[in-house]
Structure 1
Amino acid sequence: MADEPDYESLPPTTKIWVNLAAGAMAGVAEHCVMFPVDSVKTRMQSLCPCPETSCKTPVHGIASIIKREGWLRPLRGVNAIAAGSIPAHALYFTVYEKFKQFFTGNTVGHGNTLAYGASGIFATMIHDLVMNPAEVIKQRMQMMYSPYGSSIECARCIYKVEGIGAFYRSYTTQLLMNVPFQAVHFMSYEFWQHILNPEHKYDPSSHLIAGGLAGGLAAAITTPLDCVKTVLNTQQTPCAERNGNSILFKASGSYNGIKDAITSIYHARGLIGFAAGMQARIVYQVPATALSWSVYELFKFILQERPKSVAFV
């Protein structure tokens, strides 16, 4: 069998459709596989009181939801995030690859760290523009007393009651969170690739490990901003309070912007409130990011055109 060409020695000008297709597959893998853990994280970060806030681990949180609300409850909203992640991640990885090529001139090395971070920032801006409405729908579906029967019904109700602006109320926060998240994420991923895979061949284990380490670090650093985003996304979602033997339902609150959300979190929970859901966020992000990079690199490798002179027996 002829020697297989190095992964990074394949044509540097990868066709856009390859990046789009590989990115779409990576997006579905990242957001859907670990979705139940994300549901627990959303409830822990929301200012609505629910039993999951007192759970010791994300696994306990999932068990709590299933016990009270049924086996499928941790998956509510997964169709919305799946639909949003396909175009969002297709553009996300494509923009990243193209800007990385532009900034680095297709060279690799530690000297390109800032280029990787800058490429990630541009990719994030496009990704969040597409993904933010899906995030709003997903998080409202994940709440304990969510009144919506489906993601489509949720989208329709949000638009009717709060207008189109509700789908982008947390967009600024999303960018404030994801810009540092993705900058750290991409720089960390490329750093670990240089350490674990210096020849830059297609190496599933290095993509898996580098992706997991990068995702976990970025998740831990940006958890406070993720808490603010969740509060903005879940406002107007019904919450429950006990009044004697009865349960009263009311809206979770209305927040004018980032400053108002930060103040509300601090008054309700103190500084510790900005770390709510950190464990669940890391537990979600490490395998999700590892899987995302693994799937992306796999499909990129499979779909990439190889030199015609290379023969496989």
Structure 2
Amino acid sequence: MATEIDYEALPPNAGFAVNMLAGALAGITEHAVMFPVDSIKTRMQVFATSPVAVYSGVGNAFTRISSTEGMRALWRGVSSVVLGAGPAHAVHFGTLEAVKELAGGNEAGNQWFATSLAGASATIASDALMNPFDVVKQRMQIHKSEFRSVFTCARTVFQNEGLSAFYVSYPTTLAISIPFNAIQFTVYEQVKRFMNPSHQYSPSTHIVSGAVAGAVAAAVTTPLDVAKTILQTRGTSEDADIRNVRGMADAFRVIWRRDGLKGFGRGLTPRVLTIMPSTALCWLSYEFFKAAIRTN
């Protein structure tokens, strides 16, 4: 009788490549599907000077943007995500599995430290690659953005603000992403183990585990995400205080001064709405592509 193969067990000659390819495909799928909601989140987090760019909620933002600017405005900047998400997620998942294996995360039992370490390590590597693409994306998402081309936007930002504009938010991005991914990966693994102790391929398990993990991580890290958006869009602001923001501490001061405690929750609903299904889809896609690639 043939031995049953655990779909999560990597063949020794294909592990890293399989995980990188699966991660790249999962990342592109995840970001492209949920991009319009992400655009709404960016708009809600920006401290707009024009009343027409102030939205009371996700439904209000969707209706007003689509009616005044057209549905295409909600997809502006998606090409930047597609260009960056594939390589960034390939690096993320490749690093994730490599560190997880080295730290003993694939061993039996509750290996929470190894899985958290793997999530944090993967983030440092992938965010270094993705951060410039994210800056371009948000510059294209904001109200009345002058940019319609990723390359035009990147060239203009570089010429006017220098290379530092693409990385001014990197420390804040890491301050978000390291706890986000550590929380996400740990919650995902725990929920997946609880729902699927036999480790069989189970799409419903990956969807539910990914959604729960994404929602928890998104809610906890929203205040930092508001600060990141301010840093990444400061060059387009007409507000002198925002244009002079130099780091996360400056951004926090602006948020507190302008909007108080509630300012740190700007965009919470669309952020959770974006990340819950996108994380569920990402993990579902990742597990599917990993299993499919391995069987070919």
TM-score, normalised by the number of residues in structure 2: 0.94
Matches within 5 A, 1:49-68: 49=49, 51=52, 53-56=54-57, 58-68=58-68
Q: Structure 1 residues 105 and 226 mapped into 2: Cα distance closer, same or farther (>3 Å)?
A: closer
- Name the counterpart of 1:159: 158
Measured against aligned partners, the alpha-carbon deviations of 1:2-59 in whole angstroms (never above 9, x if no partner) come to 7852223453664322111101111101111000000010011111245464333x23
Q: 1:281: how far off? A: 0.3
**SS class of match (2:235):** coil
Q: 1:252: how far off? A: 5.5
**SS class of match (2:121):** helix
The letter of the residue matching 2:263 is G
- Name the counterpart of 1:247: none
Measured against aligned partners, the alpha-carbon deviations of 1:92-128 in whole angstroms (never above 9, x if no partner) come to 0010001111111631432x01110110000000010
Q: Structure 1 residues 10 and 161 mapped into 2: Cα distance closer, same or farther (>3 Å)?
A: closer
Q: Structure 1 residues 9 and 259 mapped into 2: Cα distance closer, same or farther (>3 Å)?
A: closer
Measured against aligned partners, the alpha-carbon deviations of 1:57-79 in whole angstroms (never above 9, x if no partner) come to x2332222111101200000000
CA–CA distance in structure 2, aligned partners of residues 66 and 4 of structure 1: 51
Flag the structure with higher helix content. 2
Q: State whether structure 2 residue 188 is matched by structure 1 residue 189.
A: yes
Residues 145 and 239 of structure 1 are in contact (CA less than 8 Å); yes or no, is this contact kept in structure 2?
A: no
- Name the counterpart of 2:77: 77
CA–CA distance in structure 2, aligned partners of residues 208 and 217 of structure 1: 14
Larger radius of gyration: 1
Q: 1:205: how far off? A: 0.7
- Name the counterpart of 2:144: 145
Q: 1:272: how far off? A: 0.6
Q: 1:82: how far off? A: 0.9
Q: State whether structure 2 residue 15 is matched by structure 1 residue 15.
A: yes
Count of residue pairs brought into register by the alignment:
295
- Name the counterpart of 1:296: 286
CA–CA distance in structure 1, aligned partners of residues 53 and 246 of structure 2: 26
CA–CA distance in structure 2, aligned partners of residues 40 and 251 of structure 1: 23
- Name the counterpart of 1:201: 200
The letter of the residue matching 1:291 is L
Q: State whether structure 2 residue 37 is matched by structure 1 residue 47.
A: no
Residues 188 and 214 of structure 1 are in contact (CA less than 8 Å); yes or no, is this contact kept in structure 2?
A: yes
Q: 1:260: how far off? A: 1.1
Residues 235 and 251 of structure 1 are in contact (CA less than 8 Å); yes or no, is this contact kept in structure 2?
A: no
Residues 12 and 106 of structure 1 are in contact (CA less than 8 Å); yes or no, is this contact kept in structure 2?
A: no
Residues 237 and 251 of structure 1 are in contact (CA less than 8 Å); yes or no, is this contact kept in structure 2?
A: no
CA–CA distance in structure 2, aligned partners of residues 29 and 4 of structure 1: 30
Measured against aligned partners, the alpha-carbon deviations of 1:281-303 in whole angstroms (never above 9, x if no partner) come to 00000000000000010000011
Q: Structure 1 residues 259 and 105 mapped into 2: Cα distance closer, same or farther (>3 Å)?
A: closer
The letter of the residue matching 1:55 is S
Q: State whether structure 2 residue 126 is matched by structure 1 residue 136.
A: no
Matches within 5 A, 1:258-297: 258-297=248-287
Q: State whether structure 2 residue 107 is matched by structure 1 residue 117.
A: no
Q: Structure 1 residues 89 and 197 mapped into 2: Cα distance closer, same or farther (>3 Å)?
A: same
Extract unaligned runs of 5+ from structure 1: 241-249, 307-313
The letter of the residue matching 1:130 is L
Q: Structure 1 residues 238 and 146 mapped into 2: Cα distance closer, same or farther (>3 Å)?
A: farther
CA–CA distance in structure 2, aligned partners of residues 24 and 18 of structure 1: 10
Q: Structure 1 residues 145 and 252 mapped into 2: Cα distance closer, same or farther (>3 Å)?
A: farther
Residues 10 and 305 of structure 1 are in contact (CA less than 8 Å); yes or no, is this contact kept in structure 2?
A: no
Fraction of identical pairs, as percent: 42
RMSD (Å) for aligned C-alpha atoms: 2.0
Residues 40 and 52 of structure 1 are in contact (CA less than 8 Å); yes or no, is this contact kept in structure 2?
A: no
Residues 105 and 115 of structure 2 are in contact (CA less than 8 Å); yes or no, is this contact kept in structure 1?
A: no
The letter of the residue matching 2:286 is Y
Q: State whether structure 2 residue 87 is matched by structure 1 residue 97.
A: no
CA–CA distance in structure 2, aligned partners of residues 267 and 133 of structure 1: 28
**SS class of match (1:8):** coil
The letter of the residue matching 1:304 is R
CA–CA distance in structure 2, aligned partners of residues 238 and 258 of structure 1: 17
